[in-house]
Amino acid sequence: MTASLSVNLNAIAMLRNRRDLPWPSVIGLGRIALAGGASGLTVHPRPDERHIRFTDLPEIRALIDDEFPQAEFNIEGYPTADFLDLVSKNEPEQVTLVPDDPAQATSDHGWDLNKHSEFLAAVIQQLKRQSARVSLFIDPDPDAPALAKALGADRVELYTGPYGAAHNDPRLEALELDKLAKTAEAAAKAGIAVNAGHDLTVANLPALVKGVPNLVEVSIGHGLTADALTYGMSRAVERFMNALQV
């Protein structure tokens, strides 16, 4: 099974937001990514709209519905009332719940599932009533997948930031990969599917795919956008999809 690729549009939106201008076009580049073979688009709307703007969401929903109905829309974020309202209005196929503080520059840790179990269980129930698939963002921890399953989640998303950060240290990179692999193995035993995301690149994806054979989906923004500056969006998507086919 080859993991699917969801292209995170936040870095594109951040570049657009540096000026009061409509380029680079979030929708235009999302269209190129999907036409190039990506299986979906991901956004992480934050309260200050420093990346994706709330007004982008219905346009992305329409792009998928009108031109790429086989693709999926994944909205990720901390489940405030405002976030859940955005989800309700834009009907993503998948919602990834992330324990972000609004001031964080980017996601940098997974949920403490024991501490937040009641809160998450209630949110997951609400999202399931809207027919959304729910994924919980977790740190590498073999105990976490079974807890996520018990809360009602459909998937876990492995936080791969430390793995990506070890790009210049092969020994540390191998240690971080082993943590991810053991967590994914525990997910398979618990009967919950596995996504992954954060600082994934063409260089480090093949080893991740080999180490996590039950990987279903990767969500990639920063590394893919950086690649697109060199190769163009279509070619960047092709490079990442090739990296997934190990």
CATH of the domain at 133: 3.20.20.70
Position 107 pLDDT exceeds 70: no
Mean pLDDT for 22-49 is 97
Q: Judge whether residue 1 has pLDDT over 90.
A: no
Euclidean distance between CA atoms 28 and 31, whole angstroms:
5
Using DSSP's 3-state secondary structure scheme, residue 180 falls into helix
Catalytic annotation on 76? yes
81-90 helix and 56-67 helix, angle to the nearest 10 degrees: 30
* Res. 24 pLDDT band, cuts 50 70 90: very high
Whether the pLDDT of residue 37 is over 90: the answer is yes
Q: What is the domain range of residue 67?
A: 4-244
Confidence band for 104, pLDDT divided at 50, 70 and 90? low
* Residue 44 bears catalytic tag: yes
- Catalytic residue selected from 76, 157, 173, 176: 76
Say whether 118 is catalytic.
no
Catalytic annotation, pick one of 72, 157, 176, 198: 198
pTM (2 d.p.): 0.96
Average confidence (pLDDT) over 122-142: 97
Quote the number of domains for the chain: 1
State residue 100's pLDDT score.
81
Length reported for the chain: 246
**Residue 6, strand partner residues:** 40, 219
pLDDT band at 101 (very low <50, low <70, confident <90, very high): confident
Q: Which two tokens stand for residue 137?
A: 């963002």
